[in-house]
Chains A and B, each alone.
Chain A
Amino acid sequence: MNASEPLVRVEGLTHYYGNHLGCRDVGFELYESEVLAVVGESGSGKTTLLNCLSTQIVPTSGKVMYRFRDGHVENLFDMSEAEQRVLLRTDWGFVMQNPRDGLRMGVSAGANVGERLMSVGNRHYGNIRKTALDWLERVEIDPTRIDDSPRTFSGGMQQRLQIARNLVTSPRLVFMDEPTGGLDVSVQARLLDLIRRIVADLGLSIVIVTHDLAVARLLSDRIIVMKNGKIIEQGLTDQVLDDPHQPYTQLLVSSILQVGA
């Protein structure tokens, strides 16, 4: 139970789609309550990396050592699929870029938030509903909308609902793939603010994929820069963004407006 041990230790993670490189020889550590941003251009392997980390795809080689709540450390790919799926709906969350992929659009907002509670065995309707109401408030959704379909929600609301749905079982680690991707700027800002607040409140560890350095700057403690499937630079976010060493990172940094700096 040593909190100074990393929560996740990634070693030599490589994934090929057939002959096609997804990511190669990725290694890093993630500590508890730490937010890690993964940045890089389109096709650089960010989503591939995230999907490997969250066991949604099995990497060609490499390890992801994960420290469980009881302190023991295990390679995720030595676990059975059943165990991986339990992790995914208890210890972890996964927020997708497109909320329609991460929500059940056919059921109410309340059922979306309550699903994980039910999947871990909660069988008290009143308690489930109370928790769902609570979480709607926390993600700034009007609780009177609890029985409405997410189809009637705006993109920003859907994304906040997706976050609530993932956080309701108090996960330790949440993966986010471009969570602000499809939203306009003002909606993005509100969502980022919310994520920042919740992450701080809950002491969550986050791996967030973004191609927006402003998002990385605002949310993350550390940053990984990827190119052609490999990590080309990593370190504390402020250091990397203020003093990038790699020419590619320099190019990235210089090409964006310094929002929120």
Chain B
Amino acid sequence: MSLDTISAEAPAYNFAYLDEQTKRMIRRAILKGIAIPGYQVPFASREMPMPYGWGTGGMQVTAAIIGPDDILKVIDQGSDDTTNAVAIRNFFKRTAGVAMTFRTADASIIQTRHRIPEEKLRSDQVLVFQVPIPEPLRFLEPRETETRKMHALSEYGLMHVKLYEDIAHHGHIATTYAYPVMVENRYVMDPSPIPKFDNPKLDNTPALQLFGAGREKRIYALPPYTRVKSLDFEDHPFSVQDWPDTQCAMCGATGVYFDEVILNDLGERMFVCSDSDYCEHRQEAGHFGAEHASYKERMK
């Protein structure tokens, strides 16, 4: 089925596309995931009218939990208007007809790829991650039977082998995305390809965090206020990316995750908030960075 057919006048599809039985099956997987934080629950992933790699896992999770009163926000790399985010938003607009927002604070469900919003999430919000590869042990141990056993027995020496290799070859832990975490001292989990900058936001968060991997047919979860620790060595402690002395060119924010924007052929560049809603919200509240028109106006 394509998006065109499902947008036909009289909808032949169910609310949020999936049939109720499938939703129940996914909810059971979600509940199990919540009961065992960080554990990858297998589920019967369904075909979605989008190719894998477009967040079909996250979409199925969202479809299973969304209700008519929900307000949905969809972000991709911190932005609400990339192709991927727009496509997913359109999908739920058509199939569920729910309200959409760009505002983090207004959303009850936020589906995301590659970022966690800068704004602190609340206990009445759910964050749904799109996950390409849920198995953090895969790169060193391709055998699924073996990785399952390792999770079951909490045998995680291999994760540190990877970090060891990083330090041996780069002098520091070079992993910057999908940085592995230990959940409640029990399961090692891949937080999806968010920058490690966002890892601390996973920890002790009031919001429910759900992870869906469509192609790999796995769901996992972090219930509210779960302890999440990024793996490291005593003598090479975990640290996040930082941009010393950098302010957002548009809103003047510091201590956020920045995107670098090339301005011209001369290689001039500026840094702006990767979280576009956060940035706009700050500007509306009267915070301006060096490249903002109002700031330039003021400086004249």
Contact = CB atoms under 8 A, between A and B. Distances in A.
B167 interface: yes
A114 B235 contact: no
B164 A104 contact: no
Interface stretch (A9-17, A117-125, A219-227, A246-254): A117-125
Given A82-B153, A116-B157, A118-B161, A111 B168 contact: yes
A116 B160 CA distance: 10
Nearest to B139: A106
Given A108-B168, A111-B168, A119-B155, A124 B161 contact: no
B164 A124 contact: no
Interface in A158-207: none
Smallest CB-CB A-B distances: 7 pairs: A119-B157, A118-B160, A125-B233, A118-B157, A82-B153, A124-B234, A147-B168
Interface string A73-117: 000000001100100010000000000000010111011001110
Contacts, number: 59
Interface of B is mostly: helix
A128 interface: yes
Interface string A44-86: 0000000000000000000000000000000000000110010
B260 interface: no
Interface in B148-188: 149, 153, 155-158, 160-162, 164-165, 167-169
A82 B230 CA distance: 25
A211 to B, nearest CB: 30
B279 to A, nearest CB: 38
B161 A85 contact: no
A147 to B, nearest CB: 5
Nearest to B231: A123
A68 to B, nearest CB: 19
A104 B167 CA distance: 18
Residue among B140, B161, B169 with the most chain A CB within 10 A? B161
A124 B161 CA distance: 12
Interface residues of B, number: 20
A85 B140 contact: no
Contacts of B155: 85, 119
Given A82-B153, A85-B153, A116-B157, A123 B234 contact: yes
Contacts of B153: 81-82, 85
Interface string B34-46: 0000000000000
A126 interface: yes
Contacts of B233: 123-125
Interface in A111-164: 111, 114-116, 118-120, 123-126, 128-129, 146-147
Interface residues of A, number: 24
7 contacts: A81-B153, A104-B140, A108-B169, A111-B164, A111-B168, A119-B157, A126-B235
A120 B154 CA distance: 11
A101 B52 CA distance: 34
Given A106-B140, A115-B161, A118-B164, 10 more contacts: A107-B164, A107-B165, A110-B164, A111-B161, A111-B168, A115-B157, A118-B161, A124-B234, A129-B168, A146-B168
B188 to A, nearest CB: 13
B281 interface: no
Given A120-B157, A123-B160, A107 B235 contact: no
B79 to A, nearest CB: 35
A116 B161 CA distance: 9
Interface string B217-238: 0000000000000001111100
Contacts of B162: 107
Contacts of A116: 157
Nearest to B153: A82
B280 to A, nearest CB: 42
Contacts of A89: 157
Contacts of B236: 125
Contacts of B232: 123
A90 B236 CA distance: 25
